[in-house]
């Protein structure tokens, strides 16, 4: 074991019984050693020691600092009277074992390249632990978990009873064998599951990373990385801890990461270092001299948020999530980068989201526990009856047989004899509790796990990935799923976005018409627009409306401004310019599709720096000075940029959801907003994802004052997001609407069929989407979540839990009807579409009223004009339904409320004329009357 020994006379004054250090309770291990044979600090015995004796003035004290995480040895030697022999007390302080007792942090402070400064805060090291047991804790913890099962606890109790000779008539061997068998099988299964976790932890903890130590880049295991270290990473490597990006091989400190381990998204995201640190590059000397102080938020599980500040060389710079590399990410398309460790091990956002491994019980376990309790209750009843019978017999009859059948010495009464007999029968009748059932369930679970691993239908050949059952505890739950919660984008859809349509200056582009002026669907059979004159166009982009390209070439100002927004307001990065080709790296497929569309129509995004954005507009390169980026998030639902063009004019370009853009428009846009809103509704009903674009002219004085406020708010740590949103909102006002975009994201293969089969299995599917309501409904029909058989789709749009609860209650009442009182009517007006499907109408009304309505075949003649109304009254279990089919008239009629319960009646005379008392219409109109009643209380009038 490598160590450095240095005497420290000042440490003689250390209080011998002060076993706390800072805010953390120290775990102390004490071992009496004559010769040190310790080769690794993990071999130190886990024995809690008593306090060491007082240190004598003649004692020598030295400190040994080990080159291993969180370990320091204090060596004492003494020749006091209490210890006449020379001995060596070795006390190992394992700081990383007591991190769970650390008080919560209010803020984190650290210094780069200064381990001694950072260690006094006792931050967590980079070792992770997801396993539940170790060699010492496995037996007690696993037994504790297993005895939470009622059957196991029962048989343990039974075993204890069998050890009492006065009540036991069976050998304890008959109980302990099956109990030990069950406990052993379960323990082996749990141990195998946890062994997998241990191997995974060891694999991760022993990965190699390159750490800057003593001005040299050295290889270190992940578990040895400390907060404040500077790490070098290379392409396709996993990020070892939560890092602040300092510099990279890409221009302007850019790097690209894949976050699939965190959020499941495979598209690359860009991160950018601060300009002041990106200048460090890969110069080891400069990086070793970097001693910036970081003040940031404490560890949390917010993957998309970070607030902090960097203080270095007299400058204070704000830090946000755009410069963070989180543990679990993979570095892509970047040769190298350097990062400063801010959070390590259990403090990383990945581990903060993972939580502890919990003991899980399935629904079958809970059911068996309930059954065992009932069986045990039955057993107690039987034992009580038999024990009571014994007490009665002993007191009345058994007394006379004392000569031949004497009581035991410990039995002194018939009542006590009955009490002992009760427990004897509990032991004798123990077989009614099915302990063998637990053995069978464990064996079946183990077999299920192998069947899942061997299932060929769950094998994905493209990536050579079979199914893998990582735990055998929850296998049977797969067959008892009631609800599925799913994301839409990338799960139901392909996550491949295509620019489909747009609305510019109150006109829709992207629709294709035939020679007769009829709209036709865009497909591969149509000839797409030819973009060959644009040398930088993307060959994979397809658009079928030639009129948009013609408007661009004519120089329409609003159209140019529309595509200028698309080419400037985004976070897309240029990945590579090899062979003159532009390759975009977008954080979201939506942005990639919009920037590609602008590129093909002549507004080509070419490059960006932290201060500028370069765009080639119709062959002419224009460089815009970037003053501010107003980030998109789920609350703002919009993104904006403030730029200064070549003419010196300041412009704000914004894109976002129509709900937030429309309320920030100038009043002069009211007419255009109404028309664009209609276009958006049309796009949404086609299942397209929509965004609105707007712009605003700014003046220098207003922007200068606004930027000062922005910089001030950027240094705030607590509540920064809310204050930034307020500052952003100040300038995103009185904008001019330019138009809207419509992007298509096609469904994956066999999604409708899969959802239909899930519905047949009575599995409820919930899909989360951020689309407009119309888009969500359209996609719901496309993927068979919503079907034409559903009589009505209920929209719940509450903004709070109470509102949602209330709307769900009203929806339930509309489905089930008002059946809780007499005289409550249900209002429903039949339309021509519903009259076309009488089966649906009668079944729906029958369900609402709880009554039985017979389907009718004579609602209307084919081709006849039906304008009648249905009157329905609902109450209790009865209903009344009646109406009139007017064969040649659009006149409407009213039906009275349902009366008291009557036998089913109906009359039908398609050709009759005369006065109709029920329908109250003109007797000369050809018509057919019908009415039905089912038993029940009277309902209110329906119209």
Tokens at 795, concatenated: 């929209």
Structure letter (DSSP) for residue 663: G
Q: How far apart are CA 204 and CA 126, in angstroms?
A: 10
Using DSSP's 3-state secondary structure scheme, residue 484 falls into strand
Q: Annotated binding residue at 832?
A: no
Q: Annotated binding residue at 356?
A: no
Q: Annotated binding residue at 545?
A: no
Residue 248's nearest CA partner among 275, 221, 288, 227 is 275
Q: Residue 22 contacts by C-beta under 8 Å, 6 or more apart in sequence? A: 120, 121, 122
Tokens at 526, concatenated: 């149509």
Which ranges in 355-483 belong to alpha helices (H)? 363-396, 414-428, 435-454
Q: How far apart are CA 691 and CA 329, in angstroms?
A: 30
Q: Is the dihedral of CA 914, 919, 920, 926 positive or negative?
A: negative
Q: Annotated binding residue at 401?
A: no
Contact 459, 187 (CB under 8 A): no
Q: How far apart are CA 627 and CA 650, in angstroms?
A: 9
Contact 870, 942 (CB under 8 A): yes
List the beta strands (DSSP E) in 688-728: 689-698
Which ranges in 61-147 belong to alpha helices (H)? 115-119, 138-146
Q: Annotated binding residue at 632?
A: yes
Exposure string of 475-487, with b = 16+ CB inside 10 Å and e = fewer, is: bbeeeeeeeeeee
The torsion angle over the Cα atoms of residues 23, 28, 34 and 40, rounded to 10 degrees, is -80
Q: Annotated binding residue at 487?
A: yes
Helix (H) or strand (E) holding 570: none
Q: How far apart are the first and last CA of the chain?
A: 91
Q: How far apart are CA 653 and CA 675, in angstroms?
A: 21
Rounded alpha-carbon distances, angstroms, from residue 893 to 644, 864, 886: 67, 17, 9
Catalytic-labelled residue, pool 487, 556, 631, 734: 487
Tokens at 533, concatenated: 């004159």
Using DSSP's 3-state secondary structure scheme, residue 886 falls into strand
Q: Annotated binding residue at 769?
A: yes
Place of tokens 């276009």: 679
Rounded alpha-carbon distances, angstroms, from residue 941 to 348, 360, 869, 874: 65, 55, 13, 9
Q: How far apart are CA 573 and CA 613, in angstroms?
A: 11
Q: Helices then strands (H, E): number in the chain? A: 23, 38
Tokens at 799, concatenated: 């903004």
Q: How far apart are CA 95 and CA 27, in angstroms?
A: 7
Q: How far apart are CA 282 and CA 289, in angstroms?
A: 13
Using DSSP's 3-state secondary structure scheme, residue 584 falls into strand
The DSSP bridge pattern shows strands 612-617 and 336-343 to be unpaired
Q: How far apart are CA 524 and CA 515, in angstroms?
A: 18
487 is catalytic: yes
Q: Annotated binding residue at 655?
A: yes
Please identify every residue annotated as catalytic.
487
Q: What residues are designated binding site for Mg(2+)?
A: 487, 489
Which residues belong to the annotated binding site for ATP? Answer: 487-489, 591, 632, 655, 689, 769-771
């Amino acid at each position: 074991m490598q160590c450095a020994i240095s005497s420290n006379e000042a440490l003689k004054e250390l209080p011998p019984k002060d076993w706390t250090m800072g805010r953390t309770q120290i775990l102390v291990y004490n071992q009496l050693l004559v010769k040190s044979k310790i080769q690794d600090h993990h071999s130190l015995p886990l024995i809690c020691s008593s306090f060491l004796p007082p240190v004598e003035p003649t004692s020598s004290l030295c400190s040994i600092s080990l080159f291993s995480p969180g370990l320091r040895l204090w060596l004492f030697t003494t020749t006091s009277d209490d210890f006449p022999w020379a001995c060596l007390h070795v006390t190992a302080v394992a700081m990383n074992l007591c991190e769970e007792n650390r008080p919560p942090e209010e803020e984190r402070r650290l210094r780069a390249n200064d381990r001694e400064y950072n260690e006094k805060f006792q931050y967590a090291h980079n070792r992770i632990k997801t396993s539940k047991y170790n060699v010492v804790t496995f037996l007690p913890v696993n037994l504790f978990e297993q005895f939470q099962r009622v059957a196991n606890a029962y048989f343990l109790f039974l075993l204890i009873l069998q050890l009492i000779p006065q009540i036991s008539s069976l050998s304890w061997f008959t109980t302990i064998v099956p109990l030990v068998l069950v406990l052993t099988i379960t323990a082996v299964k749990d141990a195998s599951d946890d062994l997998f976790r241990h191997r995974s932890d060891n694999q991760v903890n022993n990965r190699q990373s390159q750490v800057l130590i003593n001005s040299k880049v050295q290889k270190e295991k992940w578990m040895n990385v400390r907060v404040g270290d500077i790490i070098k990473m290379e392409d396709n490597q996993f990020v070892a801890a939560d890092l602040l990006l300092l510099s990279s091989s890409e221009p302007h400190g850019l790097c690209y990461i894949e976050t699939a381990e965190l959020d499941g998204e495979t598209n690359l995201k860009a991160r950018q270092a601060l300009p002041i640190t990106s200048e460090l590059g890969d110069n080891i000397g400069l990086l070793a001299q970097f001693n910036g102080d970081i003040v940031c938020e404490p560890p949390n599980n917010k993957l998309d948020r970070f607030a902090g500040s960097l203080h270095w060389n007299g400058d204070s710079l704000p830090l946000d999530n755009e410069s963070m590399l989180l543990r679990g990410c993979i570095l892509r398309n970047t040769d190298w980068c350097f990062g400063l460790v801010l959070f390590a091990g259990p403090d990383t956002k990945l581990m903060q989201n993972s939580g502890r491994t919990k003991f899980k019980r399935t629904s079958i376990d809970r059911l068996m526990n309930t059954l065992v309790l009932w069986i045990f209750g039955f057993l107690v009843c039987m034992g009580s009856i038999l024990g009571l019978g014994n007490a009665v017999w002993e007191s009345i009859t058994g007394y006379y047989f004392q000569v031949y059948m004497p009581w035991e010495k410990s039995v002194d009464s018939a009542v006590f004899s009955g009490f002992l007999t009760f427990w004897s029968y509990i032991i004798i009748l123990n077989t009614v509790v099915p302990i063998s059932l637990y053995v069978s369930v464990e064996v079946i679970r183990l077999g299920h796990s192998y069947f899942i691993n061997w299932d060929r239908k769950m094998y994905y050949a493209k990536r050579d990935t079979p199914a893998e059952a990582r735990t055998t505890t929850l296998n049977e739950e797969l067959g008892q799923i009631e609800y599925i919660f799913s994301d839409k984008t990338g799960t139901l859809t392909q996550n491949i976005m295509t620019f489909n349509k747009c609305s510019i200056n109150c006109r829709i582009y992207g629709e294709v018409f035939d020679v007769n002026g009829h709209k036709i669907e865009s497909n591969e059979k149509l000839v797409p627009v030819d973009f060959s004159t644009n040398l930088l166009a993307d060959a994979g982009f397809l658009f079928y409306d030639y009129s948009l390209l013609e408007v661009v070439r004519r120089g329409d100002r609003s159209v140019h401004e529309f595509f200028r927004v698309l080419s400037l307001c985004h976070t897309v990065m240029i990945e590579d310019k090899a062979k003159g080709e532009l390759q975009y790296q977008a954080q979201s497929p939506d942005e990639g599709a919009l920037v590609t569309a602008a590129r093909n129509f002549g507004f080509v995004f070419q490059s960006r720096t932290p201060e500028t954005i370069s765009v080639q507009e119709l062959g002419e390169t224009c460089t815009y000075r970037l003053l501010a980026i107003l980030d998109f998030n789920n609350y703002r639902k919009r993104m904006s940029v403030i730029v200064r063009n070549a003419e010196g004019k300041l412009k704000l370009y914004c894109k976002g959801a129509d709900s937030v853009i429309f309320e920030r428009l100038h009043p002069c846009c009211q007419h255009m907003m109404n028309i664009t809103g209609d276009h958006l509704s049309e796009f949404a009903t086609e299942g397209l994802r929509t965004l609105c674009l707007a712009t605003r002219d700014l003046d220098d004085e207003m922007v200068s004052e606004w930027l000062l406020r922005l910089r001030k708010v950027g240094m705030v740590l607590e509540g920064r997001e809310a204050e930034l949103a307020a500052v952003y909102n100040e300038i995103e006002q009185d904008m001019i609407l330019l138009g809207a975009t419509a992007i298509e994201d096609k469904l994956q293969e066999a999604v409708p069929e899969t959802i239909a089969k899930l519905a047949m299995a009575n599995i409820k599917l919930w899909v989360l989407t951020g689309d407009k309501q119309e888009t969500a409904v359209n996609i719901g029909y496309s993927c068979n979540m919503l079907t034409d058989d559903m009589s009505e789709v209920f929209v719940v749009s509450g903004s709070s839990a109470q509102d949602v609860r209330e709307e769900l209650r009203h929806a339930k009442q509309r489905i089930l009807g008002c059946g809780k009182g007499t005289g409550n009517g249900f209002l429903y007006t039949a339309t021509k579409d519903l009259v076309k499907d009488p089966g649906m109408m009668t079944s729906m009304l029958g369900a609402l009223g709880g009554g039985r309505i017979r389907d009718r075949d004579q609602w209307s003649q084919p081709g006849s004009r039906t304008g009648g109304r249905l009157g329905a009254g609902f109450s209790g279990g009865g209903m009344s339904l009646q109406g009139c089919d007017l064969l040649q008239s659009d006149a409407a009629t009213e039906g009275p409320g349902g009366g008291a319960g009557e036998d089913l009646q109906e009359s039908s005379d398609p050709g009759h004329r005369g006065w109709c008392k029920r329908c109250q219409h003109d007797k000369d109109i050809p018509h057919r009357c019908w009415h039905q009643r089912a038993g029940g209380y009277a309902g209110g009038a329906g119209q």
